[in-house]
Amino acid sequence: MRKTIVAGNWKMNASKESVKTLIEGILSGMNGVSSEVIVCAPFPYLSQVETLISNTSLMLGAQNLNVNTKGAFTGEVSPDMIKDFGAQHVIVGHSERRSLYGESITIVAEKTKAAIDAGLIPLLCVGESLEERDSGNTEVVVAEQLNAVINLLGIEAFEGIIIAYEPVWAIGTGLTASPEQAQAVHLFIRGLLADSSESIAQKTPILYGGSMNAGNAAELISCSDIDGGLIGGAALKAEDFLQICKAG
Ligand code: PEP
């Protein structure tokens, strides 16, 4: 039985004041939440969140990492630095990083490796654009993104990876994939993993992301291969985020 996981991706939205309000709001409503809950904060706020969530069940994640462990990489943040601030997770391959910052499938695979090497759990995002879906290429695109990681790291690495299926057309648009659309791709992903290892496929958490909100979370998470959500906009309001956490 896989555990439900709900992760909030705050993207580049935070201030010291809003972080305090949001975390205190989430913590005040965690009674009765059985899902694992992760908040992925922008780098400058990792330390503040680490302090606010210490001795609670909330877990911390970052949103990006550099593949190198240290050195002359001005402006970059290493996997060890992320760990140093109490994070256990890091988002890798978010579509905004792939499209706005040119992260290729090779770079995403290398970042996944760097995260695992440092003892972090990557939240590995995959998903197709609208054009790719409309041309019938969803499975080809998702398979290519996942195979790059399987080829570099081997299927065993998925013992320590959380996958997030995030159709690009659904991210931040209000256009949620229907439960049927999402479940079909999740089943495809699990089948792809099963081609290499049935037991790892059954254990790997596959979250859905893309305009998941308090109103649609329960139906999506009730699908047999949807193990939770990666939440953007709705993760910025404690009340909405908690409702999603309670949907699992
Ligand atoms: C995301 O950024 O990962 C995401 C799913 O965003 P939203 O929930 O706002 O669509």
Cα 67 to chain center, whole Å?
18
Q: How far is CA 244 from CA 73, 112, 164, 168, in A?
A: 38, 27, 16, 20
Closest CA to ligand 1's atom 8:
232
Query: Residue 34's pLDDT is what?
Result: 96
Cα(127) to ligand 1 centroid in Å equals 12
DSSP 125-181: EE---HHHHHTT-HHHHHHHHHHHHHHHH-GGGGGG-EEEE--GGGTTTS-PPPHHH
- 89 a catalytic residue: no
Does the beta carbon of 233 lie inside 6 Å of ligand 1? yes
3-state secondary structure of 204: coil
Report the nearest atom of ligand 1 relative to the CA of 173.
Answer: 10
Query: Residue 248's pLDDT is what?
Result: 80
Query: Residue 42's pLDDT is what?
Result: 98
Antiparallel, parallel or unpaired: β 5-9 and 36-40: parallel
| CA 75 – CA 93 distance, rounded (Å) | 19
| CA 24 – CA 218 distance, rounded (Å) | 24
**Mean pLDDT by groups of 10 residues along the chain of 248 residues:** 95 98 98 97 98 98 98 98 98 98 98 98 98 98 98 98 98 95 98 98 98 97 98 98 95
CB 81 within 8 A of CB 62: no
Q: From 170, 209, 2, 186, select the one nearest 91 (Cα to Cα).
A: 209
| CA 55 – CA 77 distance, rounded (Å) | 26
Q: From 187, 195, 210, 193, select the one nearest 157 (Cα to Cα).
A: 193
Cα(173) to ligand 1 centroid in Å equals 9
Which residues, other chains included, contact 102 with Cβ-Cβ below 8 Å and sequence gap of 6+?
none
Closest CA to ligand 1's atom 1:
232
Q: From 163, 212, 209, select the one nearest 188 (Cα to Cα).
A: 163
Sign of the torsion formed by the C-alpha atoms of 244, 119, 2 and 97? positive
Q: Which two tokens stand for residue 192?
A: 């792809």
3-state secondary structure of 214: coil
Catalytic residue among 94, 96, 128, 132: 94
